[in-house]
Amino acid sequence: MEFSVKSGSPEKQRSACIVVGVFEPRRLSPIAEQLDKISDGYISALLRRGELEGKPGQTLLLHHVPNVLSERILLIGCGKERELDERQYKQVIQKTINTLNDTGSMEAVCFLTELHVKGRNNYWKVRQAVETAKETLYSFDQLKTNKSEPRRPLRKMVFNVPTRRELTSGERAIQHGLAIAAGIKAAKDLGNMPPNICNAAYLASQARQLADSYSKNVITRVIGEQQMRELGMNAYLAVGHGSQNESLMSVIEYKGNPSEDARPIVLVGKGLTFDSGGISIKPSEGMDEMKYDMCGAAAVYGVMRMVAELQLPINVIGVLAGCENMPGGRAYRPGDVLTTMSGQTVEVLNTDAEGRLVLCDVLTYVERFEPEAVIDVATPPA
């Protein structure tokens, strides 16, 4: 989907569709008022007849409005004007994208970015609109035999800004929004990938591809089980003993600040590509969702992709702690005592409490980077 920004009055727009807001109770936004004026009150007359109240989620698609160059006008309910906050704005954009897609509009000029959102400027509104649009249109169907495509998918969205002085800021907002959206999509794709494909080796391959794509600033190192043993990462290794898939820790280093004094921010992502619970096995109901136990690592990967795309002037290290918790003849057991990388001993009471065992060794490992901050990301216990 293509995004762009422009500055212009609504009556001069020649597009498949113009999108404007309506507030409760039946109050036209400033841009909608301009369209109403050139249409000799056509829109306000519809509101007086009760066609649209302006409540959140309401829509009204108008065709061939008098004196308007665009084919259609989409009125979007925005709720009460004084209550339009960040959350409500995102919902309005989401409803807009879904409606345009459902009605077969292939392109549109959106004036919703000119609505007043508490504490937010036009840069934020454009960037958030791009992120929300990409999120709304997201689907994971690459493994389906038969893929269903929209009849006429939305392909182009133009966001209007009040003045030409804000075009540069708007273009930057689109660039940033696309980078953030791409990172979110990458994380979602990893999370949705089935565990017979997405194992620790698959995570490592994605980390290597990231380094290949952004070789100027990114390097990736993959640490296998042999090196983990040499490092003393026995807790991490124990979790993966029951699996036939090797445990692999992928370390992605992004360097955007060449200063020798610049300390990195370290992100650690739990990457249990499937968590059966091990010997303390989980109930079968809902176990298929345990493929999502690697979403911490997926989130870290998405952030690293975004950071590299934006070329941020900071140093960031992302660690994808990949492994699989399975029962088996080599699996660790309740009652085992493990010596962690830090030298502390830990007694295992439940093999389904594996996340802390993986993360404790990884958190010890990342101390070598002397980080400015460490953030670990993991799915909650289930």
pTM above 0.85, yes or no: yes
Same structural domain, 309 and 255: yes
**Pair 107, 203 in one domain:** no
For residue 52, CA distances in Å to 98, 100, 271 come to 18, 17, 48
Full residue range of the structural domain in which residue 257 is found: 193-377
The answer to whether residues 205 and 86 belong to one domain is no
Same domain, 135 and 258: no
Shortest CA distance to 113 belongs to which of 99, 100, 132? 132
165 assigned to active site: no
Per residue in 5-38, pLDDT (tens digit) is: 999 888 888 888 999 999 999 999 999 999 999 9
Structural domain contains residue 338: yes
One domain, residues 309 and 230: yes
Q: Which of 282, 305, 330, 368 is catalytic?
A: 282
Assess whether 212 and 339 both reside in one domain: yes
* Whether residues 157 and 88 fall in one domain: yes
Helix/strand/coil for 301: helix
188, part of any domain:
no
What is the domain-level CATH number for residue 164? 3.40.220.10
Q: Is residue 220 part of a domain?
A: yes
Task: Tell me if 165 is assigned to some domain.
Answer: yes
Q: How far, in Å, CA of 1 to CA of 357, rounded? A: 42
Q: Are residues 77 and 11 in the same domain?
A: yes
For the chain, the domain total comes to 2
Inside any domain, residue 186: no
pLDDT of res. 8:
85
pLDDT for the residue 338: 98
Same domain, residue pair 135 and 221: no
pLDDT of residue 153: 79
Residue 316's CATH number: 3.40.630.10
In this structure, the answer to whether residues 14 and 71 fall within a common structural domain is yes
By 3-state DSSP, what share of the chain in percent is helix, strand and coil, each rounded to 5?
Answer: 40, 20, 40
Q: Using CA atoms, how far apart are residues 44 and 50, in angstroms rounded to an integer?
A: 10
**Tokens for 260?**
């020798």
Residue 287 domain flag: yes
Give the pLDDT confidence score for residue 108 in this predicted structure.
94
Cβ 210 vs Cβ 304: under 8 Å: yes
Q: Which of 80, 90, 185, 356 is catalytic?
A: 356
Q: What is the pLDDT of residues 320-355, one digit of tens each?
A: 999 999 999 999 999 999 999 999 999 999 999 999
Q: What is the pLDDT of residue 151?
A: 63
For the chain, which residues score pLDDT lower than 70?
Answer: 149-152, 382
Q: Are residues 110 and 172 in the same domain?
A: yes
Instruction: Respond yes or no: is residue 156 known to be catalytic.
Output: no
Q: Both 160 and 30 in a single domain? A: yes
